[in-house]
Structure 1
Amino acid sequence: MGRVPPKMLPLLALLLLLQLLVPTINAIEWTIPDVLDSIGNVGSSIVNPSILPTPQALLDGSKQLIAGYPFEFVSNSLNIICSQALHSNRIRSKYSPDINQMNFQLQTGCMKKNFPLTNPEAMWSSPLFDPKKKVVILATGWTTTVNGSDTIDVFSKAYNCRGDVNFVAVDAARFVDTLYTWSAFNTEEIGENIALGLVKLLDLVPVENIHLIGHSLGAHIVGSAGRHLQQMTNQTIPRITGLDPAKPCFNEGEILSGLMRGDAHFVDVIHSNSGVLGKRDPVGDVDFYPGGMGPLPTGCFSVTCAHARSWEYFAETIYPGNERNFMAVRCNSISRMRDFRCPGDQVPMGYQVPQNIKGNFFLEVSGDSPFGMHASIVRSAHLEHCGKCSESTTTTEAPSSTTAKSGSWLSG
């Protein structure tokens, strides 16, 4: 390790202090020696100008440190508290999911209409539903409602532009719009209730025509739905997509294990806020790391921005012509990819991901929309109004829901 430059000592002291402030050192995902090595590398670069980081690299590193890691400490602490609460079985959610208060919401370009999970036949017989098309069901995360979600609105517009699926959102707001830990505890039961609705749905739609997508806590909800559907019917959903699956409270081998490979025939995952709000470890058959495994992708200076990037990336690929905007390569790290040390063909992330691939894939992304490095600004401008209602207003035939909260650092 190189000698630590005097100017770096205050930063080192700050990092050590932050470590001491964390309740459990074992929860830290990088250690004091790691910090020393990193600072030593900076010291070595001063001695050896050939490895001196570029101004952009210094900016990116500072951005990750200042904006990302303090929240990672909070996330790790919350994760420990959650695990202890679940292990003790002494804390339960204040609001238990009730299937009678949950809905599928079918969305067309001009209308949103709710149908009870207990009566999906009503949706399937609705003139708004096309039985010849496949079905995409989206579940979103904490503090998100079907009538107050940018995620759902953007996905609805994109899928209606494509025009080859029935787009459905899950309305479970009253059970995931509570304290985060309560919402996390509810995901397994919400997933089971969705599976009960899917059982009836399968009388009318073949299982191979269903694709489940979930963002944040929603990723764990659809994972649970896939598992319970297998138990109830011995049928397996062909594909589940997890968009930055929530990290706090979800740990493999514990009561809340969350989304995992095996919940569908093919599970693809996009990580965008690794180690903070989203899980860092691979959980799917294929896991994509746009811009690497840091907590903040290019263009983001907050965890809320980073957490949202996963669904923004995926939504971009839904539009016709955008399927190959994000091309990734199987690799061990973003640095190896940048050094051209990852042999193998590139594959598209998102809508058109090949369902026969496995492993971890890395790719570069842009900091501004369109985010795909292979995107066309001209095509994006052309698609701006595609999928929108041609009428002046959009009708919602559904019970009103609580407006989604904003400004929360853990918002889904």
Structure 2
Amino acid sequence: MKLTILTVCSLVLLQSFVNPLGFDLPTIKDILQGSKDVFIGTLTNAGSFLPSPAELFGGTKNLLAGMPLEYVSTSINSVCSTLMSSQSVIPKIMPDKNSINFQLMTACNKYTYSVLSPGDLLNNTEFDVTKKTVILVTGWRTTITSSKTIEELSKAYICRGDVNFLAIDAASYVDTLFSWSALNTEKIGEYLGESLVKLETVVPLESIHLIGHSLGAHICGSAGRTFNQLTNRFIPRITALDPAKPCFNEGESLCGLMRGDADFIDVIHTNTGVLGKRDPTGDVDFYPDGLVPLPTGCLTVVCAHERAWLYYVESVYPGNEYNFMAKRCTSLSKLKQNKCTGVAVPMGYAATSNLKGNYVLEVRGSAPFGMNGSKTREAQYATCGTCAKSSTVGSTQSSSVFRPIKWFKKLF
């Protein structure tokens, strides 16, 4: 009885939250009917509607931990946007294009090239113009020499063997206070966009794919807009991994990534409404575990924010392309009840450019995260993409991304 009352109260509170995506939330009538079902159906088919312990914990976790943080983040976002609009915030360090570099990652080596001279990549025999070229831009407080995101994603692409993998080294300009770092995203993106104009004279435009995590997603958006302004053409694909929410709002001083910045934009949201944006941002937006701040397996916003690139990395390894299958849907509950129409489509590496709309999918709390993932296949890729000459090259290094306690304190 106490549990039922608590559940009803929790759902009533949930009903009061504003839902900009149009995802279905229970009405008061639904809540009362559901409560009635709990009592009437206990002896016959209670198992068909009572939540499992895992589902109950997940819902409580997001209600008690995730959503209050979402309110705090929204307040901070409003203050930051106001400051940006007033032009009262000036970056401590302005981006200098002369000190921004590409880093070409191979299994055994890392090579550095200025964004001013991407043509120099042709002098490297390990850069193959016949392969696709993936460019990763990471987020706040992430350096090129100490980034788990870069190490893991480069390893996965190197394992595939059909990609030139480049990472952007702009740490000096996105490793300061968040508000200063956010202001720098537009200018860094402009520099990257100008570099892409030069790069596509030596590699086919259709082979270029930009991937950005957090602030990096907004840098990619700026790069795509700049490239379009200079060439009247579009970068084929931008993949945005939980694009940063604080300070970025369409129509304001910092709009960040927007639909139309590339021919195709796919977005993975994992910390919706807190560190990551809640609203649809691309042509197709994926919501693992639905519209929640903390997906399965995460108790902190840091964990949730990192899940986006972890999901994507998993999907890159050969054989994992269909680990994450999603359906166009309005809620995770409808998905679990088989009420979502249409075919399942892959999230991540294999996402196709014809996809439109919002998609929902289930995920696991630990690797392999995809519901179609295999622990056997996961184990096979432990050394794939690493250097055979040394066990230390290509190994995972500690990440300096997002320290949860300092994040809110140092935002401004």
TM-score (norm 2): 0.87
Distance 1:7 1:132, change over 3 A: closer
Q: Give 1:34 shift.
A: 9.2
Task: After TM superposition, list the pairs within 5 Å mapping 1:8-407 onto structure 2.
Answer: 52-392=50-390, 404=400, 407=403
For 2:18 and 2:369, the matched residues in 1 are separated by 36
The answer (yes or no) to whether the contact 1:102–1:172 under 8 Å persists in 2 is yes
Distance 1:403 1:336, change over 3 A: closer
Structure 1 counterpart SS, 2:136: strand
Structure 2 counterpart SS, 1:79: helix
TM-score (norm 1): 0.87
Structure 1 counterpart SS, 2:223: helix
| Worse overlay, 142-151 or 54-63 | 54-63
Counterpart position of 1:399: none
Question: What one-letter code is carried by the residue in structure 1 that aligns with 2:400?
Answer: A
Distance 1:85 1:37, change over 3 A: farther
The answer (yes or no) to whether the contact 1:286–1:358 under 8 Å persists in 2 is yes
The answer (yes or no) to whether the contact 1:245–1:271 under 8 Å persists in 2 is yes
Structure 1 counterpart SS, 2:63: helix
For 1:5 and 1:378, the matched residues in 2 are separated by 41
Distance 1:163 1:9, change over 3 A: closer
Question: What one-letter code is carried by the residue in structure 2 that aligns with 1:81?
Answer: V
Structure 2 counterpart SS, 1:267: strand
Question: What one-letter code is carried by the residue in structure 2 that aligns with 1:108?
Answer: T
For 2:373 and 2:92, the matched residues in 1 are separated by 45
1:112-151, Cα deviation, whole Å (9 max, x unpaired):
1111111112223222211111100000100001111100
1:352-397, Cα deviation, whole Å (9 max, x unpaired):
111111111111111110111111221111111100111126679x
1:239-276, Cα deviation, whole Å (9 max, x unpaired):
00000011111111112111111111000001111111
For 1:128 and 1:4, the matched residues in 2 are separated by 61
Identity across matched positions, percent: 52
Give the length in aligned residue pairs: 394
Distance 1:120 1:67, change over 3 A: same
For 2:273 and 2:102, the matched residues in 1 are separated by 31
Please identify runs of 4+ aligned residues in structure 1 that moved more than 2 A.
Answer: 2-12, 25-29, 33-58, 393-396, 402-411
The answer (yes or no) to whether the contact 2:301–2:404 under 8 Å persists in 1 is no
The answer (yes or no) to whether the contact 1:288–1:360 under 8 Å persists in 2 is yes
For 1:37 and 1:249, the matched residues in 2 are separated by 37
Q: Give 1:39 shift.
A: 8.6
Q: Give 1:53 shift.
A: 4.0
For 1:287 and 1:76, the matched residues in 2 are separated by 20
Question: What one-letter code is carried by the residue in structure 2 that aligns with 1:349?
Answer: M
For 1:335 and 1:5, the matched residues in 2 are separated by 18
Question: What one-letter code is carried by the residue in structure 2 that aligns with 1:272?
Answer: T
Q: Give 1:323 shift.
A: 0.5
Q: Give 1:44 shift.
A: 5.8
Structure 2 counterpart SS, 1:384: coil
Distance 1:405 1:335, change over 3 A: closer
For 1:259 and 1:125, the matched residues in 2 are separated by 33
Structure 2 counterpart SS, 1:284: coil
Q: Give 1:46 shift.
A: 6.4
The answer (yes or no) to whether the contact 1:28–1:76 under 8 Å persists in 2 is no
Q: Give 1:82 shift.
A: 1.1
The answer (yes or no) to whether the contact 1:28–1:73 under 8 Å persists in 2 is no
The answer (yes or no) to whether the contact 1:8–1:39 under 8 Å persists in 2 is no
Q: Give 1:408 shift.
A: 3.6
- For structure 1, the 5+ residue unaligned runs are 20-24, 397-401
The answer (yes or no) to whether the contact 2:139–2:401 under 8 Å persists in 1 is no
The answer (yes or no) to whether the contact 1:110–1:394 under 8 Å persists in 2 is no
